[in-house]
């Protein structure tokens, strides 16, 4: 910690020159701070022609959107870098490349993705990237399989679980997903007009028991090295390309959490589209979101089972049919976690622009209510939703 200092733009340029791996580092001359997230400084590093060449990211010792009153461990930068390095080993086409990281400065240099766009923004505008859902499914299958007991030797798995223990960032997830929305808490953030809807969450015993079960699984099921926050704002897309970034919440947890978070953000977009595009124009985009969800799950499940047939090392886990049975459990977990994502993004601290940027107040409130009611239903009835077709039917039921 004694070597830590908060980077200025000039510091970021000097660091990129030293560790960016360019043949002529003196070409790097300028940095622009572009971070708009809750936790970090992010600099684009430009060359003498004004072209963005690299990204420098540094963790701050507190939650940026709250301030120094909410301190955070700087070790999350190491965990993020190592998670992305590990994921890049297994899914290099779909993971941002880390070029260098320094745990003492809580900083890393990574490839620049200026030729990509943040997927959330494209979804809000109704821009469709045909490959994105399948590539996300591929990323999740490769990273989650290769860091699971299906692939790793038990000794390696246990060592990696210890390496990626991430208690402070996990505590944030535990609070924001499973605690805050179901009690009165100062971090909660929702319009007063939704007070009755939010109060109903606090007063629903069946919902709260289901959420408690999900939280218990988040605590105790160290199934694979998760990204931990794989939403459409932490994914970059371009024609034919998808890259995951921002893995500071990485840890070994239940595979269904990453799947559910990804599906949940596609459903948040589904809920917000009428307010973004208008009810008539949103219809086709909403149908595409449902197709994206199906493609994501089918790609993930098919690829995971193929990898299990070809690469499972454990004699018991390689039993024919077990991988499919395991994925059925993952699916049930994913639907529950998906529901908690819908709820916490509607009433908790951190919202999504899919809904928050809707200009019409009444429409914005209607979209929030839709997300809350859908999320609540999915949490409670997750064990009764056996497949992705039934999920789509339930989504239509609550539209």
Domain residues of the chain, as ranges? 9-111, 117-397
Cβ within 8 Å of residue 6, ≥6 positions away: 41, 58, 60
> Measured between alpha carbons, how far is 293 from 188 in angstroms, rounded to an integer?
28
Backbone angles phi, psi at 64, to 5 degrees: -60, -40
Please tell me the predicted confidence (pLDDT) of residue 1. Answer: 46
The answer to whether the annotation marks 344 as part of a ligand binding site is yes
The answer to whether the annotation marks 188 as part of a ligand binding site is no
> Measured between alpha carbons, how far is 143 from 252 in angstroms, rounded to an integer?
12
> Measured between alpha carbons, how far is 134 from 320 in angstroms, rounded to an integer?
25
Q: Token pair for residue 123?
A: 């979804």
Backbone angles phi, psi at 237, to 5 degrees: -130, 150
> Measured between alpha carbons, how far is 108 from 35 in angstroms, rounded to an integer?
14
In the three-class reduction of DSSP (H, G, I as helix; E, B as strand; rest coil), residue 375 is classed as helix
The answer to whether the annotation marks 57 as part of a ligand binding site is yes
Please tell me the predicted confidence (pLDDT) of residue 98. Answer: 98
Cβ atoms within 10 A of the Cβ of 369, count? Answer: 16
Residue 120, Cα to own-chain centre: how many angstroms? 11
Please tell me the predicted confidence (pLDDT) of residue 196. Answer: 98
> Measured between alpha carbons, how far is 93 from 355 in angstroms, rounded to an integer?
30
Architecture label for domain 117-397:
Alpha-Beta Complex (3.90)
231 and 119 Cβ atoms separated by less than 8 Å: no
Please tell me the predicted confidence (pLDDT) of residue 36. Answer: 66
Please tell me the predicted confidence (pLDDT) of residue 300. Answer: 99
168 and 72 Cβ atoms separated by less than 8 Å: yes
Residues in the chain where the model's pLDDT stays below 70: 1-2, 36-38, 65, 67
Q: Token pair for residue 269?
A: 């977009």
What CATH superfamily is the domain 9-111?
Phosphorylase Kinase; domain 1 (3.30.200.20)
The answer to whether the annotation marks 239 as part of a ligand binding site is no
| Burial class for 343, CB neighbours closer than 10 Å (0-12, 13-18, 19+) | buried
Q: Token pair for residue 322?
A: 């077990």
> Measured between alpha carbons, how far is 391 from 267 in angstroms, rounded to an integer?
11
The answer to whether the annotation marks 111 as part of a ligand binding site is yes
DSSP 8-state code for residue 28 = E
> Measured between alpha carbons, how far is 306 from 327 in angstroms, rounded to an integer?
12
Please tell me the predicted confidence (pLDDT) of residue 2. Answer: 63
> Measured between alpha carbons, how far is 90 from 152 in angstroms, rounded to an integer?
13
The answer to whether the annotation marks 40 as part of a ligand binding site is yes
């Amino acid at each position: 910690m004694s070597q830590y200092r908060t980077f200025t733009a000039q510091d970021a340029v000097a660091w990129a020159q030293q560790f960016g791996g360019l043949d002529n580092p003196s070409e790097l001359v300028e940095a622009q701070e572009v971070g708009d997230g809750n936790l970090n400084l992010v600099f684009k590093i430009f060359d003498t022609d004004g072209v963005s060449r690299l990204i420098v990211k540094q963790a701050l010792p507190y939650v940026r959107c709250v301030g120094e009153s909410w301190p955070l461990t700087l070790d999350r930068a190491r965990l993020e870098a190592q998670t992305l390095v590990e994921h890049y080993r297994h899914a290099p086409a779909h993971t941002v490349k880390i070029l260098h990281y320094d745990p003492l400065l809580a900083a890393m240099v990574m490839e620049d993705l200026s030729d990509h766009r943040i997927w959330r923004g494209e979804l809000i505008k109704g821009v469709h990237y045909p490959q994105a859902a399948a590539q996300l499914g591929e990323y999740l299958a490769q990273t989650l399989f290769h860091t699971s007991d299906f692939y790793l030797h038990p000794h390696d798995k246990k060592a990696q679980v210890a390496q990626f223990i991430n208690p402070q960032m996990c505590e944030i997830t535990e609070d924001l997903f499973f605690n805050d929305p179901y009690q009165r808490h100062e971090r909660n953030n929702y319009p007063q007009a939704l007070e009755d809807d939010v109060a109903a969450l606090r007063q629903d015993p069946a919902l709260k028991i289901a959420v408690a079960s999900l939280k218990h699984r988040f605590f105790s099921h160290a199934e694979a090295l998760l990204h931990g926050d794989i939403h459409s704002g932490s994914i970059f897309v371009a024609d034919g390309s998808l890259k995951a970034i921002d893995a500071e919440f990485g840890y070994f947890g239940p595979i269904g959490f990453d799947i559910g978070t990804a599906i949940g953000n596609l459903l948040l977009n589904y809920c917000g589209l009428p307010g973004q595009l208008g009810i008539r124009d949103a219809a086709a985009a909403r149908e595409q979101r449902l197709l994206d969800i199906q493609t994501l799950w089918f790609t993930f499940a098919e690829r995971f089972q193929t990898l299990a047939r070809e690469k499972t090392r454990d004699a018991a886990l390689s039993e024919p049919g077990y991988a499919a049975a395991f994925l059925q459990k993952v699916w049930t977990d994913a639907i529950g976690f998906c529901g908690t994502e819908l709820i916490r993004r509607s009433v908790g601290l951190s919202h999504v622009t899919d809904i928050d940027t809707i200009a019409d107040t009444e429409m914005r409130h209607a979209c929030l209510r839709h997300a809350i009611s859908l999320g609540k239903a999915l949490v409670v009835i997750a064990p009764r939703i056996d497949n992705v077709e039934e999920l789509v039917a339930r989504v239509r039921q609550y539209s």
